[in-house]
Amino acid sequence: MLLVMHAPRIDLFEWLLQNAPNATYNLAFSNIYGLTVEEYQKYTDFTLPKNFDLGSNAQYGAHELKETLSVMYNCTPDNIVTTTGASEANFLVFSSLLSQGDEFIIEQPGYQPMWLTPEMLGARRINWPRKFENKFRVDSETLSSLITEKTKLVVLTNLHNPSGVLTNQQTIKTIAEIAEEGGAYVLVDEIFLDGSYSKKPSCFGIPNVLVTSSATKIYGLGGHHTGWIIAPEGIAAQCQRMKAHTTGASSSISEIMTAHLLKNARDEVIKRFQKHATTNRVVVKKWMTQHKDLLKWVEPDGGIVCFPKYSLNVPSVVLCKHLFEAQKILVNPGAYFNSEGFIRLSFGGDKETLQSGLEALTNGLQDVHRNHHS
């Protein structure tokens, strides 16, 4: 029987792309505002040479980037596959490790592509709840009961998308040990990890763990779309082979420019992120405290997203559509993270837009509350 792979609709992406151009207050995107060319050159002191060959390709990743990542992750170039963003990185991992009929265990709430992609490949999803009442922490004790002989992969984001909660190294080590006993690997998407409020190490190096990440969210290089997989050599080789079927090679210019930033200015650019995120987090925290009747939250451990639970008895998609139509404010429905009764709120934009946006959000929520109770 011929199996045809149909790409499922990713509601979150369609929601963002359709509505972002018309939003007055965009509190939905999860990346920091981008670096300008001037900022980039100030941080790195690097300019592409005039004789740079724009036709050059690096099928196995630009040497400069692999060298830089080797130092960052204390690994060898053979552990690294460079990719076009973390989306390709995750796709390559899923398509290399999962076959039709395999099972994967995925945190919920979670980031939609992290389960839609493996399901598209014919793998079966097993939900692993991260509960609001437990501050969205992963419950390693429940993991053993979910693993079967068909389980091939356990999937996490760290910092957690959508809540911004950190999972510590010891917990990931425990998860990896449980997974290894069941013959499964652990994939940790660390795209937000460098945005933690205090510096946290990658969990690559813990046996049985592979990591994906990119420079798109924290570093202000979203337009370059440079990502990577850090994995045991055998898996890295499988992913590299699979990459020949996707992009073949990622953009050399993007990889080289990303490498110079990570090598020469990683700490400075993280400080740029933290300064902005901390200022905005204070604004959000104050607002959350003032509106406990409407929303409750688990304060994030970093990053620029949080996942508040609202008190209204309205489906999240209906609520977010109303907020957009009435107030031109864009936030993400919890339903798109497989958790009803929540919204994902981002605070990566400028402070003025955030303050005005939160004011509009208050008005919108109170308006729904009044209509709902009248």
pLDDT digits (tens, 9 = 90+) for 237-260: 999 999 999 999 999 999 999 999
The whole-angstrom separation of Cα 62 and Cα 159 is 27
Helices (H), 182-251: 233-243
332 membership: H or E segment, kind and range: strand 332-333
Separation between Cα atoms, residue 65 and residue 49, nearest integer Å: 17
- CATH 3.40.640.10-classified regions of the chain: 49-265
pLDDT at residue 373 in the model: 62
pLDDT for the residue 1:
47
In this prediction, the residues of the chain whose per-residue pLDDT falls under 70 are 1-4, 373-374
Would you give the DSSP letter of residue 152?
Answer: E
Architecture of domain 11-35+267-373: Alpha-Beta Complex (3.90)
Q: Measuring CA to CA, how many Å separate 59 from each of 227, 252, 259?
A: 14, 9, 16
SS3 63: helix
Where in the chain is CATH 3.90.1150.10? 11-35+267-373
**CA distance to 112, 116, 181, 198, per residue, from 6 (Å):** 16, 11, 33, 42
The whole-number pLDDT of residue 5 equals: 73
Residue 50 contacts by C-beta under 8 Å, 6 or more apart in sequence? none
pLDDT score, position 4: 66
pTM of the prediction?
0.96
Give yes or no for a contact between 230 and 73, defined as CB atoms under 8 angstroms apart.
yes
Residue 31 · residue 214 · CB < 8 Å: no
Would you state the CATH architecture of domain 49-265?
A: 3-Layer(aba) Sandwich (3.40)
Helix (H) or strand (E) holding 180: helix 169-181
* Whole-number pLDDT of residue 370: 85
